[in-house]
Amino acid sequence: MWFKAVIEQAKTAHPDVALTAILDCGDQPGAVMAALRAGFTRLRFAGTETICAKLAAMGAAFVPAAASTLDLLEVREPEAACRAFLGGR
């Protein structure tokens, strides 16, 4: 639910910006099911094809991993890192 709260805050703060929320559920099918219950359908999941098919039948739409990602876990200046990652926008 924390992810949903973040998305709702972003939508409220920037109502004119198009937003697509994609939640990465790792290899945890339970996380996919929780995301579906929360109203998210665009997800990333690293499970087996069999489990992916079962979750897709429940409404999950899996999105492939991005070619490049930004991990802010140990970044001292996250705003600068985001600007650099997004090309100075």
Confidence of residue 6 (pLDDT cuts 50, 70, 90): very high
Contact between residue 59 and residue 78 where contact means Cβ atoms under 8 Å apart: no
Checking if the pLDDT of 89 tops 70, the result is no
d(CA 11, CA 53): 31
Checking if the pLDDT of 4 tops 60, the result is yes
The domain locations on the chain are: 2-85
3-state secondary structure of 42: strand
